[in-house]
């Protein structure tokens, strides 16, 4: 016989497949078990589509078996009419007698009401199997709903001698600190977050597009800092490839067509970015530099994860890299001439 934990691990595994297409919806995994055998499973469809429970139930060939089954779900089944009807009602209608839930849905419309609905209909409900893992599988959603702030990932690459960029850019002879594969991985990471943020100097020096062109997936909303409108329509970040927000001190006299301008107080950048993300429903952002911007978020203790590429390239001089504080190292990985280290901020979970 398998344990509840084993089936919940399977549900967690499936839930991963639904991210990031489901965002800003959480991605849920559902596994239906009949007499210790998995007879159906599903994850949340792309945003606006059907929920995990619906997909799992639809995948079961012999619906009669549902009446003797247990459904494992990483998140409490919903109780509300959102873009889709309540999953708790469907479970009751299909007469599934047992529901095992990883964690309670923090969304106010649900928040325990799904569990109540099931219990009131006579369904056996167990809550809290692999709770920590289930919350972590939707860390962006939980952070945004519970703390009213985006989940923040910091990313940079530094040289062996601790520089984030050369002092002067040379168009003819660009210096690459990261490598091809690291950059491709970065594009994957971009596709996993709802927003991407950079400072003025990064736009002026690197002219980045901040898209996911090297990896299948959605482009995140681009957010760039430009207090005094130094960045004009010739920069790639202003093109129409994705939604773009400019954080500025005053609205511009000559706005660029597709840019959404947001006036902010530059004395408190992290808090202002928080405000804009809540306004725009951006549940997570990846911050890709430069060092000044990254350092402001570190100093404000306003970050969740950092992903740092350390290269074997030696620059001898350049722009000093970032000083990470309070970080706990999670893992390292070698990628050709780069060492990628993942850090977590333990004081900001």
How many CA atoms within 13 Å lie on the side-chain side of 5?
A: 3
Residue 87 near Zn ion by CB under 5 A: yes
Q: Tell whether residue 101 is a contact of ligand AOF (CB under 6 A).
A: no
CB 10 → ligand AOF: shortest distance, Å?
Answer: 15
Contact between 42 and 52 under an 8 Å Cβ cutoff? The reply is: yes
Q: Which residues contact 61 (CB under 8 A, 6 or more apart)?
A: 39
> What per-residue string of b and e applies to 192-203 under the rule 16 or more CB within 10 Å gives b?
bbbbbbbbbbbb
- Is residue 340 near Zn ion by the rule CB under 5 A? no
Does residue 87 belong to the site contacting ligand AOF (CB under 6 A)?
yes
Q: What is the DSSP string of 102-131?
A: EE---STTTTTHHHHHHHHTT-EEEE-TTH
Least distance in angstroms from the C-beta of 109 to Zn ion:
11
Pairing state of beta strands 221-225 and 124-127?
A: unpaired
Q: Give yes or no for residue 52 binding ligand AOF (CB under 6 A).
A: yes
Among the listed residues 7, 9, 72, 107, the single contact to ligand AOF using CB under 6 A: 107
User: Quick check: 83 binds ligand AOF (CB under 6 A)?
Assistant: yes
112 binds ligand AOF, rule: CB under 6 A: no
Choose the catalytic residue: 41, 53, 158, 192. 53
The answer to whether 140 is annotated as binding is no
Interface characters, 7-46, with Zn ion (x: CB under 5 A):
----------------------------------------
Give the whole-angstrom CA distance, residue 147 versus residue 280.
Answer: 16
Of all residues in this chain, which one has the CB nearest to ligand AOF in the complex?
82
Please indicate whether residue 53 is annotated as part of the active site.
yes
Q: Is position 223 an interface residue for ligand AOF (rule: CB under 6 A)?
A: no
Q: Is 232 within any annotated ligand binding site? A: no
DSSP secondary structure code for residue 146 in this structure: H
Q: Which residues touch 168 (CB under 8 Å, ≥6 apart)?
A: none
**Which strand ranges, in their side-by-side order, compose the sheet holding 259-263?**
259-263, 244-248, 221-225, 195-198, 284-287, 151-158, 305-311, 338-344, 328-335
Q: Give the tokens for residue 309.
A: 């590429």
Among Zn ion, ligand AOF, none, what does residue 52 contact (CB within 5–8 Å per kind)? ligand AOF
Pairing mode of beta strands 29-34, 69-75: antiparallel
Site string for Zn ion, 43-82 (x = CB under 5 A): --------x--------------------------x----
206 is annotated as contributing to ligand binding: yes
Residue 201, CB-side half-sphere exposure with 13 Å CA sphere: 13
92 sits near Zn ion (criterion: CB under 5 A): no
Of 143 and 238, nearer to ligand AOF (C-beta) is 143
- Which residues carry out catalysis? 53
Contact residues for ligand AOF, defined by CB under 6 A: 25-26, 28, 44, 51-53, 75, 77-78, 82-84, 87, 105, 107, 110
């Amino acid at each position: 016989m398998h344990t509840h934990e084993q089936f919940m691990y399977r549900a967690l595994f499936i839930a991963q497949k639904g991210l990031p297409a489901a965002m800003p919806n959480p991605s849920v995994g559902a596994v239906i078990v009949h007499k210790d055998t998995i007879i159906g499973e599903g994850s949340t469809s792309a945003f606006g589509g059907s929920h995990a429970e619906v997909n799992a139930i639809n995948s079961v060939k012999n619906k009669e078996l549902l009446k003797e089954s247990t459904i494992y779900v990483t998140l409490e089944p919903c109780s509300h009419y959102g873009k889709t009807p309540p999953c708790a009602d469907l479970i009751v209608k299909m007469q599934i007698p047992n529901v095992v839930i990883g964690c309670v849905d923090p969304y106010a419309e649900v928040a325990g009401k799904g569990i109540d609905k099931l219990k009131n209909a006579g369904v056996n409900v167990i809550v809290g199997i692999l709770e920590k893992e289930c919350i972590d599988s939707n860390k962006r959603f939980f952070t945004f709903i519970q703390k009213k702030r985006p989940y923040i990932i910091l990313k940079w690459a530094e040289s062996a001698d601790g520089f984030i960029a050369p002092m002067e850019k040379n168009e003819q002879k660009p210096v690459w600190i990261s490598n091809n594969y690291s950059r491709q991985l970065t594009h994957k990471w971009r596709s996993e977050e709802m927003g991407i943020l950079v400072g003025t100097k990064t736009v002026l020096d690197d002219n980045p597009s901040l898209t996911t062109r090297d990896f299948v997936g959605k482009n995140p909303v681009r957010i760039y800092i430009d207090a005094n409108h130094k960045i004009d329509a010739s920069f790639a970040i202003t093109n129409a490839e994705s939604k773009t927000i400019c954080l500025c001190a005053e609205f511009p006299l000559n706005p660029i067509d597709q840019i959404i301008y947001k006036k902010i107080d530059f004395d408190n950048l992290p808090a202002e970015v928080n405000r804009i993300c809540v306004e725009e429903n951006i549940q997570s952002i990846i911050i890709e530099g430069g060092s000044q911007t990254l350092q402001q978020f570190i100093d404000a203790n306003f970050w969740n994860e950092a992903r740092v590429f350390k290269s074997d390239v030696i620059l001898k001089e350049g722009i000093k890299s970032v000083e990470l504080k309070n970080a706990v190292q999670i893992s390292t990985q070698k990628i050709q001439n780069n060492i990628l280290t993942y850090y977590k901020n333990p004081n900001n979970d």
